[in-house]
């Protein structure tokens, strides 16, 4: 039997990518120590403190990959952070656990703390706003931030399908419920509360009440940012939302088509009147590229959103191609940034997420 060497371990680690940085974890310097003794391996990974939770997925992948080597008996991967914030948080959690054991009658904490709210909006339906919202949310999660996704499209909720979740939210305390989590994202949607075939025949006041409950009766916990998938148009939900939460900004999604842009302008005017900053625009279905010859066709027009953003002195956050892969990923419940992380479209979404991190200062 060949002896196990550090080079064997490095070879495995060099094949595991940090999606956020676009390189393997070994070349990025995330691996700070490799220790081998009697075919038992201990590896230390070090990341920024705010990325520790999100990096747990990679930590597990490293353990599994190294353990699969023929000469490895066991592998333990230790994840550390650059600052003491994570360890302090862990210590506080331990103290809280001990406190709850010694005082079992202590009331349940149901408070939520959301630092930033960002709305993903469009004036017109069918432009890919919900697909953009879920991929932005997951992209922010990949960067290590705690992210919530509120599906505010009461009449046509689609986020449960796109995020791959089902079932009713669990009751926590009184009339409070917990969001359902997948891919590192906390989700609340009317699609989790009513059957898929049920038509929401509600007037304005009922819609506003539903939105209020999804905001205030959900134990969101501590979130760095909540992404809100708004319905198309400029109706009750948009107005109610602007009144209930302090939006840090809005992202406008549209195809390059002139007809779509007409409604987009109305949406931007609404946000301006509500005092909400428009962070930028996303041009969705920007072009279709032939997989055989590479020819690009601008099916919905060319540069319509880009020109509108330039005219209004707004940032063009990204141009997403029209791609079957995006549609298939959304239908399967695994957003394209998760299912095809190396694809062009996934990189587009992650780049948008990184720009929003800078704009929102999270």
CA 100 – CA 109 distance, rounded (Å)? 11
Q: Are residues 63 and 169 in the same domain?
A: no
Tally of domains in the chain: 2
CA 335 – CA 249 distance, rounded (Å)? 23
Domain span at 157: 113-360
Is position 353 within any domain? Answer: yes
Q: What would you report as the CA-atom Rg of the chain, rounded to the nearest whole angstrom? A: 23
CA 175 – CA 31 distance, rounded (Å)? 45
CB 18 within 8 A of CB 24: yes
Q: Are residues 74 and 117 in the same domain?
A: no
* Among 81, 101, 132, residue at a domain's last position: 81
Tokens (6 digits) for 186: 């906390």
Q: Are residues 264 and 321 in the same domain?
A: yes
CB 256 within 8 A of CB 304: yes
Tokens (6 digits) for 178: 């917990």
Q: Are residues 65 and 199 in the same domain?
A: no
pTM of the model: 0.73
Is position 91 within any domain? Answer: no
* CATH classification at residue 200: 3.40.50.300
* pLDDT tens digits in sequence order for the chain, 362 residues long: 468 889 999 999 999 998 777 789 999 999 998 988 888 888 988 888 777 777 878 888 999 999 999 888 888 888 776 543 333 333 333 433 443 343 443 333 345 689 999 999 987 888 999 999 999 999 999 999 999 999 998 877 899 999 999 888 888 876 788 999 999 999 999 888 876 666 666 666 677 777 888 888 899 999 999 999 998 877 777 777 777 788 999 999 999 998 888 888 888 888 888 889 999 999 999 999 888 888 889 998 888 999 999 999 999 999 999 999 999 999 999 999 999 998 999 999 999 999 999 999 87
Q: Are residues 77 and 162 in the same domain?
A: no
Is position 148 within any domain? Answer: yes
DSSP letter at 288? E
Q: Are residues 47 and 140 in the same domain?
A: no
* CATH classification at residue 13: 3.30.300.130
Q: Are residues 18 and 150 in the same domain?
A: no
Q: Are residues 129 and 40 in the same domain?
A: no
């Amino acid at each position: 039997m060949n002896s196990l060497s550090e080079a064997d371990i490095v070879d495995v680690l060099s094949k595991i990518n940090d999606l956020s940085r676009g390189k393997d974890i070994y070349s990025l310097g995330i691996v700070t120590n490799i220790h081998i003794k009697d075919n038992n391996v201990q590896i230390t990974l070090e990341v920024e403190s705010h990325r520790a939770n999100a990096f747990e997925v990679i930590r597990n992948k490293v353990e599994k990959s190294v353990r699969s080597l023929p000469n490895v008996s066991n592998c333990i991967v230790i994840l550390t952070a650059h600052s003491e914030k994570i360890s302090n948080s862990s210590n506080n959690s331990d103290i809280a656990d001990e406190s709850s054991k010694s005082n079992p009658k202590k009331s349940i904490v149901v408070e939520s703390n959301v630092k930033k709210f960002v709305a993903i909006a469009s004036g017109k339906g069918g432009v890919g706003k919900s697909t953009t919202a879920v991929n932005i949310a997951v992209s922010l999660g990949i960067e290590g931030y705690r992210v919530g996704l509120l599906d505010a499209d009461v009449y046509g909720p689609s986020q449960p399908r796109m995020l791959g979740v089902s079932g009713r939210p669990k009751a926590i305390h009184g009339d409070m419920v917990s969001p359902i989590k997948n891919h590192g994202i906390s989700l609340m949607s009317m699609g989790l509360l009513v059957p898929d075939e049920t038509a929401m025949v509600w007037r304005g006041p009922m819609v506003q009440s539903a939105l209020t409950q999804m905001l205030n009766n959900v134990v969101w916990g501590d979130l760095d940012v909540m992404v809100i998938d708004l319905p198309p148009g400029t109706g009750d939900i948009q107005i109610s939302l602007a009144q209930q939460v302090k939006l840090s900004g809005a992202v406008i999604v549209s195809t390059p088509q002139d007809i779509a842009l007409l409604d987009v302008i109305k949406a931007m005017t609404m946000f301006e009147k509500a005092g909400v900053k428009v962070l930028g625009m996303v041009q969705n279905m920007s072009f279709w590229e032939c997989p055989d010859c590479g020819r690009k066709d601008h099916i919905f027009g060319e540069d319509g959103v880009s020109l509108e953003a330039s005219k209004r002195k707004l940032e063009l956050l990204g141009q997403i191609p029209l791609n079957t892969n995006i549609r298939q990923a959304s239908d399967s419940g695994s957003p394209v940034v998760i299912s095809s992380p190396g694809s062009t479209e996934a990189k587009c979404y992650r780049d948008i997420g990184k720009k929003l991190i800078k704009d929102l200062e999270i």
